Chains A and B, each alone.
Chain A
Amino acid sequence: MANDKIRNFCIIAHIDHGKSTLADRILELTETVAVRDMEDQLLDNMDIERERGITIKARAVRLKYTAKDGEDYIFNLIDTPGHVDFNYEVSRSLAACEGAILVVDASQGIEAQTLANTYLAIEHDLEVVPVVNKIDLPSADPERVCAEVENVIGIPAMDAPRISAKLGTNVEEVLERIVTDIPAPQGDPEKPLKALIFDSYYDSYKGVIIYVRVKEGRVKVGDNIRLMATGAVFTVVEAGCMDADSLVNNGVLEAGEVGYIAASIKSIGDTQVGDTVTDNDRPCDEPLPGYRQVNPMVFSGIYPADGAKYGDLRDALEKLQLNDASLSFEPETSIALGFGFRCGFLGLLHMEIIQERLEREYNLDLVTTAPSVIYKVTFTNGEVKYIDNPTNYPDPALISLAEEPVVKASILSPSEYVGNIMELCQDRRGVFKDMQYLDDTRVELHYELPLNEIVYDFFDVLKSRTKGYASFDYELLGYAPSKLVKLDILLNGEIVDALSFIIHADKAYARARKIAEKLKENIPRQLFEVPIQAAIGGKIIARETVKAVRKDVLAKCYGGDITRKKKLLEKQKEGKKRMRQLGTVEVPQEAFMSVLKLDS
């Protein structure tokens, strides 16, 4: 097919602004999916995605559209993840497109996430086509929203299609705009192969399937391809495009096209998003720009609640990693929790998703330690170490400089909440950068915030302090010196390694008190009194006590009937099994989890 009949685009939208619904309508209108086969929100096919209304993994689908000009067009719709944790994946998906449909909710206007991704699209020279969705809502104000798009983003928007994806109103206008406004792809099929990997997943029959945008040249079955960043070489077994529900092996992909390649690739580690695929026998001069290794930003220990499930947890992590190269893990041992894994995540959402998938899809009961960021420690002897596990935090006497990662955060909110937001950011050690009014009622604030202040619960608190209206986005700035201390929690005088964490000295007292209180709430009274202490170095800075239990459930043993007594005892022993035994202290799983969510 001639390139001028191809349109490669993605959809940018804030959570709940209707991206997936619009994608569904487009799929229907292009008759890619028969209406009777439609499952709501086809592209988000993980349960978690549907429930949370977010897209975690990129996906792509090829659509055929007969435009009003009478010509047939091929649309390649690339669905992008919608969360800051997956920023890099988003940028690679954008790099595979020539255009982006910007979906804005007609009543809510632009959100931080949309803004960030739109800027990203503009940076990648994408043609942005604004679309105002949800015009069927009583509170819809499309004129105001269009004006906002013009003011804030600086692209013409007054003639943007006003649609209701839910009802299907004006969706065809969007399809026409794709044809008329988004440029056709460039690229010469005769040049050496140069294709961008924007996603990959593991198929148990075909191995790793990579999703590519061919920028130059062509790739066909039997070719030897080289993945330039990793250097791995494979022979192409299939090359083709993605239908809504299957892969179609056309045998070849050419410049301008979006499609997939299967090449009996065993490990997803070989196929990194952003890497360039070239022909091993006739390679291109240089890879496509923008590739970088994705590094985890947030770390946490994941342990099976039942130690016997360690092997199951390892298998599950390995399987998840097949589809998620950004998940890293290595074995670690905790005195308190036994054998588990130190896992690295792109961000907090990524962490929650992995945990949730482990629990749901693999039926595992987990205990998770407090998330930690990577601290940079310069020792007195000049050595520099990166510490992602509080347990390994060195003795303060050996540290000449401690640094923590800092992010540039942008928050969009109705202006009445500015005070609340500033208070929150101040409280989280934020440094105010600037603030600008988007219009009469909405502001954008910029702060520099330490990453470790936002990995716990920042977004939840921000939401609650702005009645859910604020949106939030961040990018890593770098490292900044910080007064860090390691806070240890002691139960009955023993340090519980799984509860230790690194914190700014000024925050230590307040947090120590809160943790001690939370633990007191969550550790049941037991045979012996349980002193709970929080300490920095050897110095105790907070203390609570779980008083000893004074009375059990007593069993009658009337007439020599000891069955009830035995049952009670068995029940008690069952209960003990669900607890972690730390010395003489029994700690329920919930206690470990409770310290993760201190403000809830």
Chain B
Amino acid sequence: MNTPLHGGLGIYIHVPFCAVKCGYCSFCSVGWNSAKAEGYVQAVLRNIRDCSDTSRPADTVYFGGGTPSLLRPEQIAEITGELRRCFAVTDDAEITLEANPNTLSPERLHGYLEAGINRLSVGVQSLDDEELRLLGRKHTAERAEKAVRDAAEAGFTNISCDLMLALPGQSPETAERSVDRLAELPIQHISSYLLKVEDGTPFHSSGMEERLPDDDKTAELYLRAVRRLESHGFMQYEISNFAREGYESRHNNRYWLCEDYIGIGPSAHSCCGGKRYAVPPDVDLFISSPVQATEITDEAPCSPEEMTMLALRLKSGLDLRRVESIRSGIEKKIPALVSAGLCVFDGENLSLTPEGFLVSNSVIAHLI
């Protein structure tokens, strides 16, 4: 009943190294150390061999982090090579590498292309130097723009940039200017996240939270950014993701459609074989273990409630036929949501509007 729609497989590889950890980041990463990185690559290779599966096509690979572009192209090539040996990686597979602008020299870009990377996700975050300083990013707007242009020149035809919204002092106008400048770059995809101050981060202890725009201002920033992005042809397809037609991230979509994915690396998550797993966020443990430790986080994923929660992150929304068992309960609540401008519903498919995305937790809690 909960079989994946396409029967394919995605592979996520978590690269837990950063030159400098950003003050807002709560993801698993440690400082760069080349010896440790080599140990890490070997561990990744061992794990790829361990979960080898050629029974179904693997059509997306995603190097996330951390800063995956700290790994040298040869190291990436070793990993992609092992993936091709152990999985049925399709010819047209989407293979993404997250990159920090500072790491992207033309030589490296060529190297990554040769290693099989065909999609680059560049951590631009902002094209305002003041905002970049505030975020603790070590690159300027100009450097980020150059990295992106270099990538396109090197031959990347599928480039995504991250854009952070709801920064302290950000106005709808400055956000729009960042969007406009981004849109001038040769890119196909933009991920736009709202800055959230997580517990345990330096931003949290420095009281950054109080400086963030309030919820109403944040909502305004988000909606203005969505409109501006779409006016440039970057159409919203997910709560935080925008793409020119045909450039939606297939890997990203997989998460929200309850398709299978395997995660390798510290803190990586998997959903496959009817369970969800997580690897402990411990880099040394990952490197020293013959096979990565995993704990089951969910014995029975992809329940109708979970499918609702995940599918509603997508602009394409939820086909109610996928959740027949809770359909009637959901349907009763739709008219009020529609008249409040939070949802659209065509009789089968329910999806959130940008206003609805902003309150998606409340909407979902209301629906299920």
- Residues of B close to A553: CB separation below 8 A: 196, 361
Q: Please name 25 pairs of A and B residues whose Cβ atoms are closer than 8 Å in the assembled complex, sorted by A.
A: A529-B340, A548-B359, A550-B215, A553-B361, A554-B360, A554-B361, A556-B193, A556-B196, A559-B12, A559-B267, A559-B268, A559-B269, A560-B12, A561-B267, A561-B269, A562-B269, A562-B276, A562-B306, A562-B309, A563-B269, A563-B278, A563-B297, A569-B309, A569-B361, A572-B365
Closest Cβ of chain A to B175, distance in Å, is 15
Q: Which residues of B contact A (CB under 8 A)?
A: 12, 14, 27, 62, 64, 193-194, 196, 215-216, 218-219, 222, 239, 254-255, 261, 263, 267-271, 276, 278, 297, 306, 309-310, 313, 336-337, 340, 342, 355, 358-366
From A549, A554, A559, name the one whose CB has the most chain B CB atoms within 10 angstroms: A559
- Residues of A close to B268: CB separation below 8 A: 559
Q: Is the CB of A550 within 8 A of B359?
A: yes
Closest Cβ of chain B to A526, distance in Å, is 7
- Residues of A close to B342: CB separation below 8 A: 527
- Residues of B close to A578: CB separation below 8 A: none
- Residues of B close to A569: CB separation below 8 A: 309, 361, 364-365
Closest Cβ of chain A to B341, distance in Å, is 9
Q: Is the CB of A562 within 8 A of B255?
A: yes
Q: Which of A528, A550, A565, A572 contacts B219 (CB 8 A)?
A: A550
- Residues of A close to B359: CB separation below 8 A: 527, 548-552
Closest Cβ of chain A to B195, distance in Å, is 10
- Residues of B close to A563: CB separation below 8 A: 269, 278, 297
- Residues of B close to A559: CB separation below 8 A: 12, 14, 62, 64, 263, 267-269
Q: Beyond A549-B215, A551-B216, A560-B261: 8 further Cβ-contacts under 8 Å?
A: A551-B222, A552-B359, A554-B360, A554-B361, A560-B270, A562-B269, A562-B306, A573-B365
- 0 or 1 for each of A527-556: is its CB under 8 Å from B? (1 = yes): 111000000000000000000111111111
Leading 6 A-B pairs by shortest Cβ distance = A550-B219, A552-B361, A551-B215, A572-B365, A561-B269, A560-B255
Q: Is the CB of B218 within 8 A of A551?
A: yes
- Residues of B close to A584: CB separation below 8 A: 336
Q: Is the CB of A554 within 8 A of B194?
A: yes
**CB neighbors of B among A500-536 (8 A):** 526-529
Say what secondary structure dominates the interface of chain A.
loop
Quick one: closest B residue to A573, CB to CB?
B365
Q: Is the CB of B215 within 8 A of A560?
A: no
Q: Is the CB of B340 within 8 A of A548?
A: yes
Q: Which residues of A contact B (CB under 8 A)?
A: 526-529, 548-563, 565-566, 568-569, 572-573, 576, 584
- Expressed in whole angstroms, the Cα–Cα distance for A584 and B4 within the complex equals 35
Q: Is the CB of A565 within 8 A of B362?
A: no
Q: Which of B216, B267, B310, B337 contacts A562 (CB 8 A)?
A: B310
- Expressed in whole angstroms, the Cα–Cα distance for A565 and B239 within the complex equals 13
Q: Is the CB of B361 within 8 A of A555?
A: yes
Known: A552-B362, A569-B365, A572-B365. A557 touches B255 (CB 8 A): yes
- Expressed in whole angstroms, the Cα–Cα distance for A529 and B339 within the complex equals 12
Closest Cβ of chain B to A221, distance in Å, is 66
- Residues of A close to B193: CB separation below 8 A: 556
Q: Is the CB of A568 within 8 A of B361?
A: yes
Known: A561-B278, A569-B365, A584-B336. A552 touches B360 (CB 8 A): yes
